[in-house]
Chains A and B, each alone.
Chain A
Amino acid sequence: MEFIRREAPYLAPKVDVASMMLQVLVALIPAALAHVWYFGPGFLFNLIIASIFCVGSEALMMRARGRDPRVALADYSALVTAALLAFALPSLTPWWITATGALFAVIVAKHLYGGIGFNIFNPAMAGYVVILVAFPMEMNLWVAPRMGDIDYVNLTVLQTIVYTLSGSLPDTLGFDAISRATPLDAMQSGLRTMRTYAEIRTNPMMGDFGGRGWEWLGNFFAIGGSWLLVKKIIRWQIPAGVFAGLLVPAGLMFIFDPSTNASPGFHLFSGATILCAFFIATDPVSAATSPKGRFIYGVGIGFLIYAIRKWGSFADGVAFAVLIMNMATPAIDYITRPPIVGHKSEGRER
């Protein structure tokens, strides 16, 4: 009898990239539903537009690089990029802005570096930073979260579609009527105009830790992120590092002077901290690889988020923090190489 010949090991691998990416997408569902609940259906339109442009440009780039587009599309990584970008955008965003971000993320940040596995920058964050710098006005148009307030105004589904497609609001509503400062904006400008933390906290938009409604989103990201931890899609080092890097300096500063510094709880539950810790910083391709290196990488991101919020000119610093630490990844990997078993006595060869 004749048999087929293969190389050891003969057991099939247990995981694949596509299922990892799918699980990341699944883990984002609770936060997506919460986002729609608090900020209206705009998120869904952003998600659809981002997905179309991410997947479409991925297919085009694969073809341009002379490869089979189906291989890249089958791993769902373009959809993860689209989803992360959609979470970073205000719920009301004209389609061309979303498209610009998506195209930059996939074409420049991902495929010009060689496609999945070779990109040194997190594609979604690179795309987001480009549109944040290019369209500062639109990117700051955040509607107030739905919290049962009397003066709550948001667009209907139809009005949202019209705005997304044309960028124009209904005649009866101005930007001022629907947009609100984000809690981070309010905190940053408040502290810089010499008001104390306690004073700013009396603003009705503030909740238990961060802004009302906003802080709840964080919980849904945490639920999805915990599920990814349980499923071992992500490891604990990066989220722990991000939290440590952000909360330790925030805590020390808050203890040092509680009137001019926001509390660690405010930092944790504001902006994209929790989204970043579980979903953005944990992108394996652009993160450090060794366990120790990952913790350092996370700490770096957490600290940069704090530094940008405290001393920078942007209200939130997640995207910049991630991109800066992406640059540091090779160095971190180099420094944190684990000692090979059997080489203990002779030290590390380099």
Chain B
Amino acid sequence: MRAVYRTLPGRLHKHAEPVVSAPTYDLGKLHGGLRLQAHKQMSTAEPIRQVPVPEQLFLPLTQHAGDPAQPVVGIGEHVLKGQLIAECEGTLCAPIHASSSGTIVAIEPWPVSARHGENAPCIVIECDGKDTAIGTDENSPSYDKLVPEDLLGQILLGGITGLGGAVFPTAQKLMQATTCDVEYLILNGVECEPYISCDDALMREYGREVIGGAQILMHALDVDVCYIAVESDKPIAIQHLGEALAEIDDERIVIKMVPTIYPSGGEDQLVQLVTNREVPSGGLPSDVGCLVQNVGTAAAIHNWMIKREPLISRVTTITGDGVATPMNVEARLGTTIADIVRFAGGYTESAEQLIIGGPMTGKSVTSDRVPLVKATNCILVLSQTPSVSPEMPCIRCGDCAAVCPVQLLPQQLFWYTCADDESKMRSHGLIDCIECGCCDLVCPSHIPLTANFRTAKARILEQADEKARAERARHRFEARNDRLERDQLQREEELARQKQAARQAAPDAIAEILKRKQAAADED
């Protein structure tokens, strides 16, 4: 494991002593956080299994943060695996490719697991079972021959988004970062939420792809240091990555082991841990010279740039005490959760809750007809949680503040959200809340703080949005009034000018007319 070095925050590994088997540990400081029971072993016992192509695939047009993609295929059309079926529209978007070959049978609303709303437009493919791939352009140049701009353009075409959960289109994220002075590429293999183990499994089996992706990203961003951050409870993944790294022998890439504390895998928290730099409020990691990408995203970039496979499948964890055989699977995007659960042996009798994502930040859905999308890193089926005693008044114990990774005072914030005091909510950092859920777990009064903050945040952001819209409308209105006034003035000036000219011209004209009349009279 020569790839692993002990470094000081912000120092390059080249200047530090290599350590053979003790990876770097705890560099920056993370406030608060929780040590949670991991529940990861149950899904990591077996290697990643491939879910067979289902009969029907449901591909939502919005699988990423931003605007929906626009379909470029019609109903009845036959498509091949990897064929573009919806293209980018707008500035923040990612294209969508057919996950398998078949016929487009519908483009219609279907239940999805997105945060807002229940149904969203999906392209439905009736698979033909042949899984025929579309031919690839064999002559496409190798990535290191491309200038960064062209490379980013290529990444955009692959439909790649962040696979950690926020699904920000990768090309746009990279494009934004190239406008800043980025020093470090950080690959996020932390996966701090309990139950989820898809990144762990991916690093164990696709370590070479992850590192390949890191090299492509480093080329695109023109950075010289890449940290792959992995939590200390994933020794096998660290070992496999280390072996892959030794094979590839790229000394710009360093594996960093970070402590197993939730939420160390949050983007800003990871930057703080790895580089000891604080991402400013409302800012991005690129403001402090970092770019964070999920390890799965790196592997997807590698698969697209090297093997020309667009993002049509992903590794996901299917786990929880409500599933017969918890495991990690690789499934085609668009496969319904029901199909994946069937592959994992079906539900157990105690299955009560279906959660897309982890147990701290995931979204619970009522139906398993929702499809696997680019964001789905975990399918968690839980038996009903033991009944907890009802919500009580806050006793100001302060445990919520002690665990808050952003150092908020949730107990104070709670008062202000109850009172709907927007200026206080803002000054106490409601917008900075990362909704990690730590405060809920330590609250002895069982107050649903995170849910409270989430609603309050949505409300004040909406209000701010409305205000901005109203402001824009006011500006437009005023601009229109100004323009009308200006036009009016111009018209009046013009009129006055014409009148003036007419008045000046008038005597001549009259004289002319008189002259003409005179002439006519003379002729007579």
Contact = CB atoms under 8 A, between A and B. Distances in A.
A1 B353 CA distance: 10
A290 B401 contact: yes
A341 B31 contact: yes
Contacts, number: 175
A9 B406 contact: no
A235 B397 CA distance: 10
Contact of A339 (B354, B357, B407, B412): B407
Contacts of A19: 444
A15 B393 CA distance: 14
Interface in A1-42: 1-20
Contacts of A3: 351-354, 364-368
B177 interface: no
Contacts of B398: 235, 284, 289-291, 294
Interface string A241-273: 000000000000000000000000000000000
A75 interface: yes
B389 interface: yes
A10 B359 CA distance: 5
B36 interface: yes
Contacts of B386: 12
Contacts of A294: 398
Contacts of B451: 7-8
B482 to A, nearest CB: 36
B441 A9 contact: yes
A312 interface: no
Interface residues of B, number: 71
Interface string B34-53: 00100000000000000000
Contacts of A344: 278, 280
Contact of A4 (B352, B394, B443): B352
B92 interface: no
Interface in B418-455: 427-429, 432, 435, 437, 440-446, 448, 450-451, 454
Interface stretch (A110-118, A166-174, A200-208, A210-218): A110-118
Interface string B75-97: 00000000000000000000000
Nearest to B282: A342
A101 B357 CA distance: 53
A147 B354 CA distance: 66
A117 B394 contact: yes
Given A7-B448, A11-B194, A18 B364 contact: no
Interface residues of A, number: 49
Contacts of A114: 393
B394 A8 contact: no
B443 A13 contact: yes
Residue of A9, A20, A74, A284 ringed by the most chain B CB atoms within 10 A? A9
Given A117-B395, A117-B396, A287-B396, A340 B407 contact: yes
Contacts of A193: none
A8 B361 contact: yes
A335 interface: no
B418 to A, nearest CB: 13
Interface in A119-142: none
Contacts of B392: 17, 71, 75, 116-117
B105 interface: no
A287 B397 CA distance: 9
A2 B359 CA distance: 19
B442 A9 contact: no
A8 B437 contact: yes
A17 B395 contact: yes
B394 A13 contact: no
Interface string A306-350: 000000000000000000000000000100011111111110011
Contacts of A349: 427
A117 B36 CA distance: 28
Interface string A271-300: 000000000000011010111001000000
Nearest to B399: A15
B321 to A, nearest CB: 12
Given A75-B392, A289-B409, A340-B429, A13 B364 contact: no
B444 A342 contact: no
Nearest to A11: B359
B123 to A, nearest CB: 25
B408 A340 contact: yes
A350 to B, nearest CB: 6
B395 A116 contact: yes
B409 A338 contact: yes
A296 B170 CA distance: 48
B441 A340 contact: no
Nearest to A10: B359
Given A8-B363, A291-B402, A342 B280 contact: yes
A338 to B, nearest CB: 5
B279 to A, nearest CB: 6
A349 B431 CA distance: 13
A338 B401 contact: yes
A8 B450 contact: yes
Contacts of A9: 359-361, 437, 440-441, 450
A7 B437 CA distance: 10
A3 B194 CA distance: 21
B368 A8 contact: no
B367 A340 contact: no
B327 interface: no
B306 to A, nearest CB: 37
B365 A342 contact: no
A342 B281 contact: yes
B384 interface: yes
B279 A342 contact: yes
Nearest to B320: A10
A118 B281 contact: no
A201 to B, nearest CB: 41
A75 B389 CA distance: 10
Interface of A: 1-20, 71, 74-75, 114-118, 235, 284-285, 287, 289-291, 294, 333, 337-346, 349-350
20 contacts: A3-B353, A3-B354, A3-B368, A5-B364, A8-B355, A8-B357, A8-B362, A10-B382, A10-B385, A11-B360, A15-B399, A114-B393, A115-B393, A117-B393, A284-B397, A289-B398, A291-B402, A340-B407, A341-B405, A342-B406
Interface of B: 31, 36, 194, 268, 272, 278-283, 338, 347, 351-355, 357, 359-368, 380, 382, 384-386, 388-390, 392-399, 401-402, 405-409, 411-412, 427-429, 432, 435, 437, 440-446, 448, 450-451, 454
